Structure 1
């Protein structure tokens, strides 16, 4: 079964400076985090703060999900960091 992202939810974790989002491999939930620095590689003029970072994530969501699919390896790990 392929990793999929049926839930568009995402949140900003201020303490880790990253956006958190989730994918599913069958019934198994897989957590992903993409840091501010990685997001700024998509959009160098992103700005700072939660709203700017979430807006950048939303704008580049499809590309980020493709990176998440490439990074994902089936196994016991259930959290992946995109950097």
Structure 2
């Protein structure tokens, strides 16, 4: 089966410093994380805790297509769960 992303939901996982999203391979749910370092442009943005969630989720939305492509590649490459994507994976 092909990995699909029918659910556009994403959320900030502060404990893992990542944005969490889900893909599906048939009926199997596959969890992914995007390191926030891949989403913010500067260290100053990382320090702005009151706007960090909005900044990260907005950046995720802008980069959604390359993130999904990187997630599909990581999944096909057989990485182990959880699938953690970094800036090197996305750009």
Q: Please indicate, yes or no, whether the TM-score normalized by the shorter chain is above 0.5.
A: yes
List gaps (5 residues or longer) in structure 2. 47-51, 87-91
TM-score normalised per structure 1 = 0.83
The count of residues paired between Structure 1 and Structure 2 equals 79
Cα distance between partner residues in 1 of 2:45 and 2:84? 21
Alpha-carbon shift at residue 78 of structure 1 (Å): 4.4
- The aligned residue for residue 62 of structure 2 is 59
> For the aligned residues, what is the CA RMSD?
2.0
Query: Would you tell me which structure has more helix in proportion to its own residues?
Result: 2
Are 1:72 and 2:70 an aligned pair?
no
TM-score normalised per structure 2 = 0.77
Of the three residues 45, 48, 51, the one matched with 1:47 is: 45
SS in 2 for 1:15: helix
